[in-house]
């Protein structure tokens, strides 16, 4: 079956083969139920620099990124903005609406031209209400996901800040990096504020940890680009 998203995709862009059926939440859905979600899918092209949704907008859709990259960020009451995460092709965004929140708690901005395929939470809820067994499967899937996230948080507290920072940079580089002569380069700039929130540390502490990483040769700074050295896999 041809994917309906193909007509939105830009020629030459790397595109994931994943579909909304691959989302962990839908493990309990049968083929006909997935076909209903696919049929009601909302395909969108988001130009670089534009938003998929803005913090405070009504939270009524979830999206699979078919191609492109998205930055998730949040604005605090004092007006400061922090980066929460980066998502690439094959990742979902907007899943916070499953918790029952009426509005999106953060904003999603396209770092490059992006194609998404999504669905209205209304259609999802109608499927669950019509199939109580699916509701139980959804609860089980969400519990497993929360357990996995808890394990990740616990592992972060066991490491030094330098190790945690290197681990975060490695993960970002593996998902959003390109190979260069010196190693794996992250394609977009990351401020120390961004890294501080991703790691869970103050900007000043991030600065000190980054100096240690660059001094040891694990990380190479080339202008505003960070490169994870080949020497340290």
Q: Is the pLDDT of residue 170 over 50?
A: yes
Identify whether residues 147 and 164 lie together within a single domain: no
Q: Helix (H, G, I), strand (E, B), or coil: what is residue 193?
A: helix
Residues 69 and 128 in one domain: yes
Question: Are residues 171 and 142 both part of a single domain?
Answer: no
Same domain, 44 and 124: yes
pLDDT band of 1, cuts 50, 70, 90:
very low
* Sheet-wide strand order for 92-93: 42-46, 114-120, 61-67, 92-93
Domain check: are 109 and 217 in the same one? no
Q: State mean pLDDT over 100-125.
A: 85
Contacts of 160 (CB under 8 A, 6+ apart): none
Phi, psi for residue 231 in degrees, rounded to 5: -65, -25
Q: Inform me whether the pLDDT recorded for 165 exceeds 80.
A: yes
Residue 90's Cβ-side half-sphere holds a number of Cα atoms within 13 Å equal to: 7
Q: Which CATH number is 212's domain given?
A: 1.10.10.10
CB 192 within 8 A of CB 203: yes
The residue among 131, 70, 59, 63 whose CA lies nearest residue 98 is 59
CATH number of the domain bearing residue 8 = 2.60.120.10
Least confident window among 45-54, 64-73, 194-203, 219-228: 194-203
pLDDT of res. 157 = 54
Q: Pick the last residue of a domain from 156, 187, 202.
A: 156
User: Please, what is the average pLDDT of the chain?
Assistant: 77
Residues 83 and 185 in one domain: no
Q: Are residues 150 and 203 in the same domain?
A: no
The size of the chain, in residues, is: 233
Whether the predicted pLDDT of 175 surpasses 60: yes
pTM above 0.85, yes or no: no
Residues 212 and 127 in one domain: no
The total domain count for the chain is 2
Is the domain of 94 the same as that of 165? no
Residue-number span of the structural domain to which 58 is assigned: 4-156
pLDDT, mean of residues 46-50: 93
Q: 181 and 143 in one domain?
A: no
pLDDT one-digit tens code per residue, 75-100? 888 877 888 888 888 888 887 776 66
Q: Per residue, what are the HEC states of 100-137? A: CCCECCCEEEECCCEEEEEEEHHHHHHHHHHCHHHHHH
Does 58 share its domain with 126?
yes
Q: Same structural domain for residues 46 and 103?
A: yes
Average pLDDT, stretch 137-165?
62
9: pLDDT strictly greater than 60 = no
**Domain final residue pick, 106, 139, 156:** 156
Q: Which of 115, 130, 156 lies at the terminal end of a domain, its last residue?
A: 156
């Amino acid at each position: 079956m041809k994917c309906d998203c193909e007509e939105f995709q830009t020629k030459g862009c790397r595109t994931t083969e994943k579909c909304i059926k691959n989302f962990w939440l839908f493990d309990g859905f049968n083929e006909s139920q997935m076909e209903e979600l696919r049929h009601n899918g909302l395909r969108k092209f988001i130009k670089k620099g534009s938003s998929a949704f803005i913090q405070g907008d009504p939270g009524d859709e979830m999206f699979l990124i078919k191609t492109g990259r998205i930055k998730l960020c949040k604005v605090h009451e004092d007006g400061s903005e922090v980066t929460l995460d980066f998502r690439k092709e094959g990742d979902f965004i907007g899943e916070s609406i499953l918790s029952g929140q009426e509005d999106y708690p953060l904003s999603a901005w396209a770092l490059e031209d992006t194609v998404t395929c999504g669905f209205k939470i209304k259609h999802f809820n109608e499927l669950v209400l019509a199939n109580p067994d699916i509701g139980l499967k959804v609860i089980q899937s969400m519990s497993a996901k929360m357990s996995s996230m808890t394990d990740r948080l616990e592992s972060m507290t066991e490491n030094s800040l330098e190790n945690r920072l290197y681990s975060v940079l490695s993960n970002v580089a593996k998902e959003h990096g390109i190979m260069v002569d010196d190693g794996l380069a992250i394609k977009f700039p990351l401020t120390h504020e961004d890294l501080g929130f991703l790691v869970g540390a103050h900007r000043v502490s991030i600065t000190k940890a980054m100096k240690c990483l660059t001094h040891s040769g694990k990380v190479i700074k080339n202008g505003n680009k960070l490169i994870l050295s080949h020497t340290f896999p």
